Amino acid sequence: MLFDAADFDAHEAVHFVHDAATGLRAIIAVHSTHLGPAAGGCRWWFYEDDVAALTDALRLSRGMSYKNAMAGLPMGGGKSVILRSDAAPKSEALLEAFGAAVDSLGGRYVTAEDVGISVADMQIAARRTRHVTGLPVAGGAAGGNPGPLTAEGVFVGMRAAVAHKLGKSDFAGVHVAIQGLGSVGGALAEKLAVGGAVLTLADIDADRARAFAARLGATAVPVDAIAGVAADVFSPNALGAGLDEATIAALQVAVVAGAANNQLATPADGARLAARGILYAPDYVINAGGIINVVAEYLGQGDAASVARAIARIEERLADIFVQADRSATPTDVVADTLARALIGR
Ligand code: NAI
| Residue ranges lining ligand 1, Cβ < 6 Å | 146-147, 150, 179-185, 202-205, 223, 237-240, 259-261, 287, 290
Residue 52 has pLDDT above 90, yes or no: yes
115, 237, 297, 311, best to mutate for ligand 1 pocket (most atoms within 8 Å of CB): 237
* Number of residues in the chain: 346
Residue 158 has pLDDT above 80, yes or no: yes
- 147-343 under CATH 3.40.50.300, yes or no: no
Residues of the chain with CATH 3.40.50.720: 147-343
Residue 52 CA to chain centroid, in angstroms?
19
Class of the domain covering 2-125? alpha beta
Structure confidence at residue 294 as a pLDDT band (50, 70, 90): very high
CA–CA dist 109, 132 (Å, integer) = 9
How far, in Å, is the centroid of ligand 1 from the Cα of 237? 5
Note the pLDDT of residue 128: 98
Residue 62 has pLDDT above 90, yes or no: yes
Helix (H) or strand (E) holding 26: strand 24-32
pTM over cut 0.85: yes
79 a catalytic residue = yes
Closest ligand 1 atom, CA of 287? 43
117, 239, 247, 264, best to mutate for ligand 1 pocket (most atoms within 8 Å of CB): 239
Exposure b/e, 253-286, CB count within 10 A at least 16 = b: bbbbbbbbbbbbbeeebbbbbbeeebbbbbbbbb
- As a whole number, mean pLDDT of residues 225-241 equals 93
85-100 per-position pLDDT tens digit: 999 999 999 999 999 9
With a pLDDT cut of 70, the percent of the chain lying above it is 99
Residues of the chain with CATH 3.40.50.10860: 2-125
- Among the options 67, 79, 90, 165, which is catalytic? 79
**CA dihedral of 217, 223, 224, 229, whole degrees rounded to 10:** 30
What is the residue-averaged pLDDT of the chain?
96
Residue 141 has pLDDT above 90, yes or no: no
Residue 237 φ/ψ, nearest 5 degrees: -130, 30
Note the pLDDT of residue 139: 78
How far, in Å, is the centroid of ligand 1 from the Cα of 1? 31
Least confident of 108-122, 135-149, 220-234: 135-149
Q: How many CB atoms lie within 10 A of CB 245?
A: 12
Structure confidence at residue 144 as a pLDDT band (50, 70, 90): confident
Residue 302 has pLDDT above 90, yes or no: no
For 56-79, give the secondary structure using H, E and C: HHHHHHHHHHHHHHHCCCCCEEEE
Structure confidence at residue 310 as a pLDDT band (50, 70, 90): very high
CA–CA dist 309, 307 (Å, integer) = 5
Closest ligand 1 atom, CA of 236? 29
113, 122, 184, 256, best to mutate for ligand 1 pocket (most atoms within 8 Å of CB): 184
How far, in Å, is the centroid of ligand 1 from the Cα of 4? 32
Residue 145 has pLDDT above 80, yes or no: no
Beta bridge partners of 53: none
